[in-house]
Amino acid sequence: MPQKKNPDVCELTRGKTGRLVGNLMNLLVTVKGLPLTYNRDLQEDKPPLFDSVDTLRLVLAVNTEMISAMELREEKCHAAAADPMLLATDLADYLVKKGVPFRHAHELVGKAVAQAIATKTPLDQLDFPVIDPAYGADAKDVFSLDRALAARTNPGAPSISNVQAEITKWQAALV
């Protein structure tokens, strides 16, 4: 339909990953039983290797064009990420930090989510201590996207500092 804006490039790129993983499996199976000297089996490593290089060149070129033409609308991104349900895991983490076993924390968050859905109340607007005394008055403090992102500092996690470090690393590598 002409009014739709499907992310075709992203979908096609995702589709290409199956081909690349298949090529990797092809190579791994080819070399899995080889002794340490030259073997004619290695004639079979060229087609998947060359196909992978060609596929990656195409995908990187097309994605470069897509990314350079993208227009990000921060306010829309922020609005989409503002749904309090997205931070239900943070609510469970909050309970665990208070000493609640994770299994029970998961159950309590499930009760809160069910109540939010049933009453059509945003999750961050519930009266948590009424749901269960394990929740403190500070339970609503977990519903801050900025705080949630800042707390995720493990390698690969989406904290602002981690993302900025990755951007800086790749900018230096690609210059």
Tokens of 68: 């350079």
Which pLDDT band, with edges at 50, 70 and 90, does 78 fall under? confident
Between 4-18, 55-69, 136-150, the lowest mean confidence (pLDDT) is in 4-18
- CA 75 to each of CA 7, 82, 86, 158, 163: distance values in angstroms, whole numbers, following the listed order: 20, 10, 17, 19, 19
In the predicted structure, residue 39 carries a pLDDT above the cut 90: no
pLDDT value of position 53: 97
pLDDT digits (tens, 9 = 90+) for 108-159: 999 999 999 999 999 999 999 999 999 998 999 999 988 999 988 999 898 9
Please give the biggest Cα pair distance in the chain.
Answer: 72
Mean pLDDT confidence for 159-163: 92
Contact 159, 152 (CB under 8 A): yes
pLDDT value of position 23: 97
Query: Is 0.85 surpassed by the pTM of this model?
Result: no
In the predicted structure, residue 1 carries a pLDDT above the cut 70: no
Q: By C-alpha distance, which of 22, 7, 27, 13 is closest to 58?
A: 13
Mean pLDDT confidence for 43-49: 92
Which amino acid appears at position 70 of this protein? M
